Amino acid sequence: MSDGPLIVQSDKTLLLDIDHPLSVECRRAIAPFAELERAPEHMHTYRLTNLGLWNARAAGHDAEMVIDTLIKYSRYAVPHALLVDVAEQMSRYGRLRLEADPVHGLILVTTDTAVLEEVIRAKKIAPLLGIRIDNETIAVHPSQRGAIKQSLLRLGWPAEDFAGYVDGQAHPIELKQDGWKIREYQEHAAEGFWHGGSGVVVLPCGAGKTIVGAAAMAHAKATTLILVTNTIAARQWRDELLKRTTLNEDEIGEYSGSKKEIRPVTIATYQVMTKKKNGVYSHLDLFDSHDWGLIIYDEVHLLPAPIFRFTADIQSRRRLGLTATLVREDGMEGEVFSLIGPKRFDVPWKEIEAQGYIAPAECIEVRVNLTEAERLAYATAEPEERYRYCATTRTKRDVVQELVSLHANEQILVIGQYLDQLDDLGETLGVPVIQGSTPQKVREELFHAFRTGEITCLVVSKVANFSIDLPEATIAIQVSGAFGSRQEEAQRLGRILRPKADGRGARFYSVVSRDTIDQDFAQNRQRFLAEQGYSYTIIDADDVFQGKI
């Protein structure tokens, strides 16, 4: 029995002991086929999934390599059944191939006739197929490339896609590395994506996903469509691209509620893409308006359903998804996998923090006690009003006020869900509030003032959850959120993770009402970050008032 860093469990989870001298080597060895599930302090959990194993096959690894790696690093004997299963699952990949055919367009080819017979009899598959060419080959309607991949994956016979990508209209794009250098992991991520053809890159907030996008564009050297969450994010992407690449202002267009420019590089918002006019998505034509060589989906965990549907139809174009958390509260991770592509790059947050590319952060949960009157009101509140009630309790206001005064000389964001609570806080603290109704222009002015240090504190609603680049913000105070959303918590922490000029750490306060569902939701919200190795310290509101933090 070796003394390896890895424990292979019979339920296909792999536990990696990160205090073990071989852990780094082992992590590299298992990364191609195992999905990182959790990365807390001592033992990281990876999982062998069918998707992950097929993904490894796609990247050219075979079952033997996977099995050898498991046996090599395993601390205990590896369950034989698991090895058999790995070999079996991996052998399922590649028995069906999608290929381009000069005569029939797109064809489905097999090395195993029985499998082909099985899948063409499946109800979901049959309508996607054309004529049978011979025993091993059948034509596929070219428009159904995405749909057939989705359906085959569900049947457990994933097709290897050799049909290739269209190059799109060429457009020169280069990275302009003057005064900055692309980081190693960003380059790995961009290359991982490029070799895989399409896929998702997962990087922590503040770790420079935009640059990965820019590097991918420099690989593609083609016209690019970038889909982002909102207008602010669109402008940030534009600024960043101007700064980091050889693109100039005339080459970058914005396609949003206010502007409808289509240029070689076009940045569109999800909002405008999914706007319906007379019951039809009139703006989805944008996908077809140009011979795009690359499509980038920012914050892919928020991708709305209509975009998914459309993405299924553009499988011949390269697709890059970017996100910090591939956790979808709606459980649509599988759709992301089959339509955008498999995860091409993932790295624990703490590892990037250790490299100094994101600011170290401290997470603190501040528990406030409800007053007797509040408790009674909470107990009798209607179930659907309960969370709102305990999340917006008045006691929180005093704590926030105290926290803000404790960090008087730092850049503070107060983040919440409920507008009247935010207005109230804005008034109490005497600071501006940014919410959905704040005009775009005012928002930009306020963010600008915040960046320059003119104002040190902002109260923001969920509009600032993502993609807002506020490099010098060091303190975030969360007063309420979208129930138990894990990704929201991670995104909000992300607002303060940009490395600070003076190397200072960031602090994330979450103010929670004790003994209410607020506390239960908080626990759920913290789960993703806890799994990434952020541990929460719990303090009492009284400690805040006594300055014990």
| Chain residues that interact with other proteins, rule: CB under 8 A | 1, 7-11, 13, 15, 17, 38, 40-43, 45, 75-80, 365, 515, 519-520, 523, 526-527, 530-531, 533-538
Burial class (CB in 10 A: 0-12, 13-18, 19+), 354: exposed
Q: Which DSSP category does 492 fall into? A: H
d(C-alpha 169, C-alpha 176), whole Å: 21
Q: What does each C-alpha distance from 456 to 151, 361, 466, 476 come to in angstroms?
A: 52, 19, 20, 12
Q: Which is nearer to other proteins, 135 or 535 (CB)?
A: 535
Token readout for 250 is: 């005339």
Smallest separation (angstroms) from other proteins to the CB of 481: 17
The number of helices, as runs of H, and strands, as runs of E, in the chain is: 22, 25
To other proteins, the closest distance from the beta carbon of 260 in angstroms equals: 46
Strands (E) in 49-184, as ranges, are 96-101, 105-110, 129-134, 137-140, 159-161
- Which of 67, 93, 97 is CA-nearest to residue 82? 67
Q: Which two tokens stand for residue 216?
A: 């991918």
Residue 470 CA to residue 448 CA, distance in Å, equals 9
Give me 315's structure tokens: 């499988």
Q: Which is nearer to other proteins, 77 or 376 (CB)?
A: 77
Residue 511 CA to residue 506 CA, distance in Å, equals: 16
> Quick one: 12 or 235, whose CB is closer to other proteins?
12
Q: What would the 3-class secondary structure string for 76-113 be?
A: CCCCHHHHHHHHHHHHHCCCEEEEEECCCEEEEEECCH
Q: For the CB of residue 80, give the shortest distance to other proteins in the complex, in Å.
A: 5
Identify which of residues 13 and 271 has a Cβ nearer to other proteins in the complex.
13
Q: In angstroms, what is the minimal distance from the CB of 368 to other proteins?
A: 14
Nearer to other proteins, 73 or 450 (CB): 73
Q: Which is nearer to other proteins, 79 or 105 (CB)?
A: 79
Q: Nearest-CA neighbor of 464 among 490, 445, 436, 432?
A: 436
The radius of gyration of the chain from alpha carbons, rounded to an integer in Å, stands at 25
Q: Which is nearer to other proteins, 15 or 129 (CB)?
A: 15
Could you give the angle at which helices 209-220 and 231-244 cross, rounded to 10 degrees? 60
Pick the closer one to other proteins by CB: 300 or 544.
544
Q: How far is the CB of 8 from other proteins (least distance, A)?
A: 7
Shortest Å, Cβ 81 to other proteins: 8
In whole angstroms, the minimum distance from the beta carbon of 27 to other proteins comes to: 17
Beta bridge partners of 222: 170
Closer CB to other proteins, residue 146 or residue 481?
A: 481
Q: Answer whether 541's CB lies under 8 Å from 394's CB.
A: no
Name 331's Cβ contacts closer than 8 Å, sequence gap at least 6.
none
Rounded least distance, CB 115 to other proteins, Å: 22
CB of 500 closer than 8 Å to CB of 353 = no
Please state, in angstroms and rounded to a whole number, the distance separating the CA atoms of residues 495 and 361.
11
Length of the chain: 549
CB of 76 to other proteins, least distance (A): 4
Which is closer to other proteins, CB of 185 or CB of 534? 534
Nearer to other proteins, 79 or 197 (CB): 79
Q: Work out how close the CB of 520 gets to other proteins at its nearest, in angstroms, rounded to a whole number.
A: 8
**Residue whose CB is less far from other proteins, 466 or 528:** 528
Smallest separation (angstroms) from other proteins to the CB of 302: 24
CB of 88 to other proteins, least distance (A): 13
- Rounded to an integer, what distance in angstroms lies between the CA atom of residue 358 and that of residue 311? 32
Question: How many Cα atoms sit within 13 Å of 421 on the Cβ side?
Answer: 24
